[in-house]
Amino acid sequence: MKKKICIIRASDITFISRVHRTAQALQQSGKYQVNVLSIMPRGGKPISEYPYETTYISIKSRALKSSLFSIFRILEGMARLYFSAKKQKADIYIPIGIEDLVIVYVISKFFKTKFIYSANELEGDRKRVGNKKLNKFLNRQVIKIEKWMLNKSNGVIAADLERAKLMEKWYGLDKVEVIRNVPSYVDVDNENLIRKELNLPKASKILLYQGMLSPGRGLEVSIKACAKSKTQNKIHLVLLGFITEEYKDKLLKTAGDFGFANLHILPPVPWKELLFWTKSADISLVLIENVSISYYLAAPNKLYETIMVGVPYIASNFPEIKHVHEVAKAGILVNPENVNDITEAIDKLNEDKLLYKSCVKSSKFAKTVFNWSIEQKKLLQIMENIDIQ
């Protein structure tokens, strides 16, 4: 008989590839019946084409737009998720964030169910409020809550080696498993999606940043670096992902102030399509800034995605990214806050054909190391061990 698994995320899961890869791997193993529980997308159009069940929770208090009602939205969401998760009567629950962990912990205490925490972020190092002192206090409380709950879990998973080490220290755990959030092994043919979408000439050089478009991700410094490049007239900086109108205006103003005319901002695409868009770039930017421990110790999904499709990267010289780079050798590491470093890297990859070809060739080996078929085996083994307990 198949074990029932319920994966919970208190947000819209449409673009969270980690959730989908985990659910698909477990469902397709033939040993589990998976249901992913999440918040209804803001457009109110749930996606139901996944090879596993999905249950979406509507939040009625979303109609109250003011930030004053944000606490009501959070509490309503958690309450609805709790009752829906309880109805699942799953054998194993997999929470992704702190809100999900609290819900699942309560269920486990009442109904003696098992759970494994698959952390998408370092929850003890998040920006929760604007006030720095209050934010630090809240994060300390989150760490205490997580430590208490995780010592009663059936396992903990992190997405990065360095984050796993820190979580072991924070929570006093013997072992935090590492399951990297990498794409499935695939050979993607040459694509031209970005040039077609923006009607760009063949001679143009496309620099792509994909993912959440927000402060701390090297976007402003990238614009400045492109403006200083020897070949700035050929360079087109494309930002692909979610962005607020306020931040979009700020980036466009930065581009205008520095005389860079080739900035393009495109909406996000479904995670299954992302590799094809990545392949249509010439260089991938992975320039997260050292704004928090969580950022500093992360290897973003986009790093693995660019390796998978053989597009050279310019990435932050941070510990976890460096671990990956030492294997991949498929790009250039820089100080993400140094405009000259980034400009030099852009010009090197645009002008040195031998270096560019070497990066592309190196990625062919790296993709055999950093791919989901390898990480999936680790995941299934972890689940098997929980079943035995």
What 3 state SS string does 111-146 have?
HCCEECEECCCCHHHCCCCCCHHHHHHHHHHHHHHH
- pLDDT given at position 282: 97
Q: What is the pLDDT of residue 132?
A: 86
Domains located in the chain, CATH noted: 3-182+372-388 (3.40.50.2000), 193-369 (3.40.50.2000)
> According to the model, what pLDDT value does residue 307 have?
98
H-only helix segments in the chain: 17-28, 70-88, 98-111, 132-150, 161-171, 193-198, 219-228, 245-257, 274-279, 293-296, 301-309, 319-328, 339-351, 353-369, 372-388
pLDDT score recorded for residue 191: 84
pLDDT digits (tens, 9 = 90+) for 242-298: 999 999 999 999 999 999 999 999 999 888 889 999 999 999 999 999 988 989 999
CA neighbours within 13 Å on the CB side: how many for 160? 24
Q: How confident is the model at residue 69 (pLDDT cuts 50, 70, 90)?
A: low
Locate tokens 């680790």: which residue?
378
Q: Which among 89, 88, 95 is positioned nearest to 111, based on CA atoms?
A: 89
**Three-class secondary structure of residue 332 per DSSP:** strand
Mean pLDDT over each residue of the chain, to the nearest integer: 92
User: Model-level pTM?
Assistant: 0.90
| Residue 338: per-residue pLDDT | 96
